[in-house]
Structure 1
Amino acid sequence: MISRLILWALRAGWGLAAVVMAANLSGLGVILTELWLAGFLGRLGSDWLVQMAPVAVYPTIGALVGIALAIRDRTHYFGWLDKRRTPTEAEARRLLTLPIAITARALAIWIPGVIIAAALFAHATPQRDLAVVLAMFVFGGLESAALTYLIVDRLIRPTIPMVSEVLGGGTTHWSSTVLVRVLVTFAVTGAVPLFMLITVLADPVSDPHNRIRTGIYLAIVGLSAGAVATAALARAVATPMHTLREALDRIAHGDLEVRVPIGSASELGRLEHSVNELASNLRERDRIQKVFGRHVGAEVAERALAGGADLTGDMRVVTALFVDVTGSVALSTELAPNDFVAKLNRLLSTVVAATEDNHGLVNKFEGDAALCIFGAPIALSDNATPALRAARRIRDAVAAGGELDVGIGLARGLVFAGDIGADTRLEFTVIGDAVNEAARLTTEAKAVPRRILASQAVIDAAAADERAHWRLHESILLRGRKQPTDCWTDLAPTDAVREPTRLDPKSQVAQ
């Protein structure tokens, strides 16, 4: 109901004027009722209506001036809304000042009225009675101004989302802060009604009966206004806080499509804007991590996003797995480029799946080859066993596909694992003898029936159940090395049935 009234007041050309006049007339009504209950009108004599008539002249003039200015304000502050367009930055900033501007003007209209009332009542009222009357008018004006502020501040709230789009959502005006709202609400609900009550009780002219009934009236007015104003303030704070809590809960559970509507020009509005920025930044980070991860691997992407752009790294014992296509030069000449790339992509998809399922990292693609690392950047308690499993899975998938032939080499050793490059361009890589050895074994593996060769260090570090799948192939003098390397290959299915007890690689070497 209140929301519909607010929208009506925004759309109607004289809605703002009606709202402002209602607030001011309510203050004037409270004052007149209070004067009547306190017996002041009776003390003016039987012709009190005649004496009050001149006093009514200024409120009439003030009301007409206020209505005219409020109608002018409707065009000045809401012209862009009538034209159904987005406000300019100047119009958006101007709108934020509307509550305090109208409140200040209401006070300015009340002050001459207080002075005029004092001058007109001076000849017919005892000096001490006049002080009470003036105090009632002053407090009534303050009550009306404070009420005007709260109503107009609530009135412009539906326009705040459009204003925030223009101003960036982080702009507030000092007059719309939560502190100001709390202070104004306190004035409406407590301070002013209590000061008016003190004034009535301290009136030395009124009889006790009049003071009591006026005090009861002011208490009812204070309680009624306090209930409405406090409920409005509580709702203005609690509703966005509830929305923010739900939004943060959704973000915490991974829902990054959250967007909180900005409905306030106070600190709450800035908080709503901050939550939207948080969700937006997390979405961007998630997008970057996914795109980045497709190029360098999810673990490396997470490491880079968490650690910044420093050139860092450490020494790790890892297992390197190298895959290379056999006869790729001949294939590239026989097939159309698109066909060759399609075959290659299917192979590399198999390599990525087998590696990541075994907690490894596809460190880089080198044309028709791929280097996979187990043990960096994420350390593994056993990096040899998953590497051997991945190698067998890749070989079996390639053989089943029948499109390409590959060689797979595995080696294990101490390497540098970290970032290399410059401050503006980094690459995560591994450098060490194990990588070179794996590449050399890959070349030799292309001529091995099972298409896989692993170094002795890999077999020694593997779990016993995985070693059962491997046998010593031969010792090979790899290119660039002075000592031969003991090379292992996996058992064919028939060999596995015939030699089920070969679990210890060292005992096999002895054989």
Structure 2
Amino acid sequence: MTVRLRDWVTRPWRRSAVATATGQRKSARRLSIEYAVALALAYVLGLLDAAAILIPLGRHPSIALTEHGTIAIAVLGVLGTLGVAIVGVLHVLPTLRWFAAGKEPNPKQRETATRLSGQQAAILVTAWVISGAISVLVNRSTGTALLLPISLGVLFGGSATIGTALLFTQRILRPVVGAATRGSEPRVAAPGVFARLILLWFLCSALPFGVIAAFVVMRSYGWLIAQSASVDVPIMVVSLAALLLGLPTMILTSRSISDPLGEVVDAMAEVEHGRIETHVDVYERSQIGRLQAGFNRMVTGLAERDRLHDLFGRHVGADVAQRALEEGASLSGDVVEAAVLFIDLVGSTQLAESRAPQEVADVLNDFFRIVVEAVDKHNGLINKFAGDAALAVFGVPLRTDEPASAALATARDLGVQLRRLPVVDFGIGVSAGRVFAGNIGAENRYEYTVIGDAVNEAARLADLAKTADRRILCSAGAIDRADDAERQHWAECYSTVLRGRSEATHVSAPAGPA
């Protein structure tokens, strides 16, 4: 398998949660090869920086490299490149194996993954120090004069290698660290945006310009470089090294900032489309890591808010929940025209005595499921459940043109559907009129409810309906407020004084046979 330099410069780094699923991850072997190429490439770029110092300084008579010494340094460069690649792969391979296999890391593996970048830097520093020490020993015949250029070469070359290796390998290590720290706070210290830009400036501008300036100053004063010597070639070498180092460093530094931001932007789009479970991996403790962690906390908060909204809506009704969100926690209400439907289960006490508690709960759930579906179908609101009874209102909190017609149609639908349930008997009462609809209670604990004569009348009619043939009765107020099409389904039965009332109520029931 061939890994091209172009891939390391132009390939996107973004890796979403879906893209890092087990079935889509690269194999450990491929990841290790890419990691080895990254380290080797960073080491070679560091060698170019070191060569830009050693080549011109090596021409000075007092520190001129011997032929054997030059060959030895070249061999050290090749061996160092191979050494850091091999040692680096051996060190990172166990981590890449569990990551590529999609396994859950154990605590020790998590700890190892968070230290990969620091241990990688230690491997590169060790390689440069050993190479520099061997170079001095091989060329010891030149005395201590060679110590300065080799030290400068190790300093600048090693710095360039560590910086570029961090950028090159971050594409591989970031998802690994993200998988190791998922669900916990990231512990990997990484340079922030400002520090990365400063590092980019140092590697691409300050370092090569400083070397060129040093050549000019040393030639002017005859330090290590004769005043008659030309620095054209050294300057050209340094410029070429800066060019080779600058482009990939600039691209990789910009991607190390833009790609995590792109992941957050993509995740925001997922949340915008309703996928509230979306999260991004947090790789580091820089500003970027804090942004990723902040996004995850925000999404968690949104999910919690949606759960509370859903739970709130299930208890008080979606319309009431929406009104509460729009108006806030205020004790307010209005007197409006509304229709009220009261339904009560018959014989619930005997049902509880003769059946197991779970069976009673199942009967009640089936009963209320039918009630809720019928009320929702006609744009009503289940205002409250009271044991084996339910109160539904129409026309509030959402205004409707014909609340009485909706309540009467709901009662007829319930009469048909509830008769299909075994061991269930009921009574339904419907009334309409002006009621107060709003929040009742205290500032820290209230409920949305309706208060008025129509509510009491509907409850009394429900009691009376338990002995009626159709089990459904309504008041003349509901019939008078209904449209002509709905009135045709009802017929007046009689007048009676309901319990707790002083005036007679004209009672109607669904027309047609029972």
Counterpart pick for 2:438 among 397, 417, 427: 417
Superposition deviation, residue 270 in structure 1: 3.3
Write the letter of the residue equivalent to 1:444.
L
Write the letter of the residue equivalent to 1:350.
I
Q: Partner residue of 1:262?
A: 282
Describe the superposition over 1:424-447 as per-residue Cα deviations: whole angstroms up to 9, x where unpaired: x65443333332221012122334
Q: Partner residue of 2:164?
A: 147
256-265 vs 405-414, greater mean Cα deviation: 256-265
Gaps of 5+ in 1: 495-511
Gaps of 5+ in 2: 9-24
Superposition deviation, residue 350 in structure 1: 1.6
Sort the Cα spacing of 1:243 and 1:316 in 2 relative to 1 into closer, same or farther, 3 A. farther
Query: Counterparts of 2:27 and 2:153 in 1: how far apart (Å)?
Result: 30
22-31 vs 461-470, greater mean Cα deviation: 22-31
Counterpart pick for 1:465 among 473, 485, 488: 485
Counterpart pick for 1:320 among 335, 340, 347: 340
Q: Partner residue of 2:193?
A: 178
Counterpart pick for 1:41 among 46, 49, 58: 58
Write the letter of the residue equivalent to 2:254.
A
Counterpart pick for 1:368 among 371, 383, 388: 388
Query: Counterparts of 1:374 and 1:320 in 2: how far apart (Å)?
Result: 6
Superposition deviation, residue 353 in structure 1: 0.7
Superposition deviation, residue 393 in structure 1: 0.9
Sort the Cα spacing of 1:468 and 1:179 in 2 relative to 1 into closer, same or farther, 3 A. farther
Task: Indicate the SS of the match to 1:42.
Answer: coil
For the Cα contact (< 8 Å) 1:415–1:434, is it kept in 2? no
For the Cα contact (< 8 Å) 1:160–1:265, is it kept in 2? no
Task: Indicate the SS of the match to 2:281.
Answer: coil
Task: Indicate the SS of the match to 1:49.
Answer: coil
Query: Counterparts of 2:178 and 2:40 in 1: how far apart (Å)?
Result: 27
RMSD: 5.3
Task: Indicate the SS of the match to 1:234.
Answer: helix
Superposition deviation, residue 179 in structure 1: 2.4
221-230 vs 379-388, greater mean Cα deviation: 379-388
Task: Indicate the SS of the match to 1:176.
Answer: coil
Q: Partner residue of 2:475?
A: 455
Task: Please say if 1:397 is aligned against 2:413.
Answer: no
Matched positions, count = 474
Superposition deviation, residue 242 in structure 1: 3.6
Write the letter of the residue equivalent to 1:27.
G
For the Cα contact (< 8 Å) 1:385–1:461, is it kept in 2? yes
Show the 5 A alignment for 1:96-111: none
For the Cα contact (< 8 Å) 1:201–1:215, is it kept in 2? no
Q: Partner residue of 2:250?
A: 230
Query: Counterparts of 1:380 and 1:208 in 2: how far apart (Å)?
Result: 99
Q: Partner residue of 1:191?
A: 206
For the Cα contact (< 8 Å) 2:53–2:149, is it kept in 1? no
Query: Counterparts of 1:171 and 1:419 in 2: how far apart (Å)?
Result: 48
Write the letter of the residue equivalent to 2:51.
L
Write the letter of the residue equivalent to 1:392.
R
For the Cα contact (< 8 Å) 1:103–1:149, is it kept in 2? no
Q: Partner residue of 2:366?
A: 346
Counterpart pick for 2:506 among 486, 494, 499: 486
For the Cα contact (< 8 Å) 2:124–2:162, is it kept in 1? yes
Describe the superposition over 1:300-349 as per-residue Cα deviations: whole angstroms up to 9, x where unpaired: 455667777x4644234232210123455556666666665544433322
Write the letter of the residue equivalent to 1:42.
R
Sort the Cα spacing of 1:177 and 1:316 in 2 relative to 1 into closer, same or farther, 3 A. farther
Superposition deviation, residue 359 in structure 1: 1.7
Describe the superposition over 1:437-485 as per-residue Cα deviations: whole angstroms up to 9, x where unpaired: 2101212233444433333443343344333433444433222222223
Superposition deviation, residue 291 in structure 1: 4.7
Write the letter of the residue equivalent to 1:189.
C
Superposition deviation, residue 352 in structure 1: 0.9
For the Cα contact (< 8 Å) 1:161–1:263, is it kept in 2? yes
Sort the Cα spacing of 1:200 and 1:180 in 2 relative to 1 into closer, same or farther, 3 A. same
Task: Please say if 1:356 is aligned against 2:376.
Answer: yes
Query: Counterparts of 2:270 and 2:39 in 1: how far apart (Å)?
Result: 41
Counterpart pick for 1:432 among 452, 457, 460: 452
Task: Please say if 1:27 is aligned against 2:46.
Answer: yes
Write the letter of the residue equivalent to 2:64.
W
For the Cα contact (< 8 Å) 1:319–1:410, is it kept in 2? yes
TM-score by structure 2 length? 0.69
